[in-house]
Chain A
């Protein structure tokens, strides 16, 4: 059991959870992730580690599927059944020079430790984060402190500048080149768009991939991705790869594999979910049942 120390919403459906996990905290480096299982019947869900201190790790979870919504219900004092990690290879932090970190949506959570690590390695770090609308902009304060310059983009212009992160990227490439290194973390279409923008400019670019995964130790091969025409496993060879070599279309297609089952799981009566969760926290069953998201909430 892994105790939740703090939990608070950063934005609607986006929750920051600080967990007691000393062994993981001790080894964690930027770019790595953990796999959690909330309760006995739960799936194994990979989540990037956003931050850590001596004995805790911080996860940022967007409630999109059944399990992530369940994670969004957690509060201080609750516990998660299994947390394993830190998994994956740490980001390759070097002295690149002028670096750009681009985070889309909840990807900003991963941009944060990366910006911190790149800055600590002596790089000049500019961060661009994007969100649908102002309410979904997260970690702005933390990122401002972590980097040299921060740009916030919103789709509707309700905050920062209106536009996509790639709009800002294009502008930065034209106005302030040269850029030595770009790091992209976010939805697949965004990472693909970043890769296509930096490709003609010849800027080395890395993307942090988020495929479906089970064990996270190379055993199952479910997280295989196509990179430069070769099969690689995101859990042991990644999750970060050369964005110019990644086949994002294959990744997007593989990530849709269980879409139907995921939708069906969201339609389930809350009783079963609550019953399952109660195995982990028997004391809060009634509270959870009343708090469960209604099935009408779409993606």
Chain B
């Protein structure tokens, strides 16, 4: 063990800053914004850890990464061992090190946060995951002996990948069925290259493949094959539905059908998945943002991703329109900071009421009204209300609506005996993730409503454990119908 500084000395070290591309430069490219810690920075930051006997960071992590042990290994320079330690609980460390809202999870629970800046756990996680990839010596944990059981996993997003990884570790066969032509779900079509490079997602998927996970693309369960067929003639012993939310919400405002009005899913899919920004290498078109004014509506990570993408596609003005104040935005603090540095203009406490267009059916502006915070709503946040006589029209040629997603009905409509709540989300027993249909489990956004990558991964892990238990004893819990009183099915 390396010499450790006394706690007082540790708190004197400032939190190490993540090196990043210059804002003006990165606003014109799709390369990663954060360039990553090197070993020296990771070491220095790891020195700050107070090595708590009862590490709160671990409890703050939805998948329970053994942060303290990982930091210990980093301090000893055992980066490969550190990465392997993370992989025991988290099959996608290079992904979560980049996109987790650490400030609300591990870092938010860090004892240092009370008086100093929290330990940069996310940055260290990313460092060890990237280090491991660079050496090519990925510490894949050993799999249990084969059980002969097969599980079909619907969707290759974070919930599906995490579930598949845990299942193969327990000796089961896991086959992931993906509707799109590329794997990764929201990691592939939703999160832009500058925040999560596709190569990183690809590496993590390749690691899962090496572990023994099988993948099939272009399979729409409910259409190409049904859940009943998977459990019947295709011989699967269980099915895990992890299809995500993924039915874009619109605002039902006049003019929403105008050319130039996109859902965040469509805009980001065209750019991330179909590479529409590069006409030399892609046949898919996207609205030409160059020199235009673009507004994105919403305050979540997806909204920030979309507005920063528009800026990188050459938008002259990139507005973020949010009906509450900036402090209430659900987007990660780091992404908000990055967006502002790149030149995104925040128009908070504003709400669109109409999209305006020309005779050609193309968008020319968005009519906005000012908002003020009103009474707190069920989320505890103050519900914004419009201020009278504050209407004005912002001239824009493209708008991206990024106000969240509803439940995609595809799998459910093909399975009439699957119980859903009144918003279409699948009802599960919260302990076992079991649905109303024997052998079928569900988790991630299709159960919880739109959440984060790491929460979906946590659901995938929990489901893997529950599926494993079911495959052992065949016991099926009684899933109690709840009237659908809340949009989320998780307690």
Contact = CB atoms under 8 A, between A and B. Distances in A.
A250 B274 CA distance: 25
Given A82-B218, A84-B218, A219 B265 contact: yes
A104 interface: no
Nearest to B178: A84
Interface stretch (B90-98, B133-141, B276-284): B276-284
Interface string B359-398: 0110000000000000000000000000000000000000
B4 interface: no
A219 B284 contact: no
Interface in A161-217: 214-217
A39 to B, nearest CB: 9
Contacts of A99: none
Nearest to A2: B218
Interface residues of A, number: 44
Interface in A199-253: 214-222, 224, 226, 231, 233, 236, 247, 250, 253
Contact of B408 (A41, A81, A217, A264): A217
Contacts of A218: 246-247, 408-410
Contacts of B217: 82
B435 to A, nearest CB: 20
Contacts of B181: 37, 44, 81-82, 84
Given A67-B283, A215-B269, A231 B252 contact: yes
A219 B247 contact: yes
A44 B223 CA distance: 18
User: Which secondary structure dominates chain A's binding surface?
Assistant: mixed
A283 interface: no
Q: Kindly name the residue among B223, B226, B284 whose own CB sees the greatest number of chain A CB atoms within 10 A.
A: B223
Interface stretch (A10-18, A117-125, A255-263): A255-263
A83 interface: yes
Interface string B78-117: 0000000000000000000000000000000000000000
A42 B283 contact: yes
Interface of B: 179-181, 189, 217-220, 223-226, 246-248, 250, 252, 256-257, 259, 262-263, 265-266, 269-270, 274-275, 279-285, 287-288, 360-361, 408-410
Interface of A: 23-24, 27, 37, 41-44, 66-67, 81-87, 214-222, 224, 226, 231, 233, 236, 247, 250, 253-254, 256-258, 261-262, 264-265, 272, 276
Given A219-B248, A219-B269, A221-B250, 11 more contacts: A23-B224, A43-B282, A43-B284, A84-B181, A215-B180, A217-B408, A247-B257, A250-B257, A250-B361, A253-B360, A262-B285
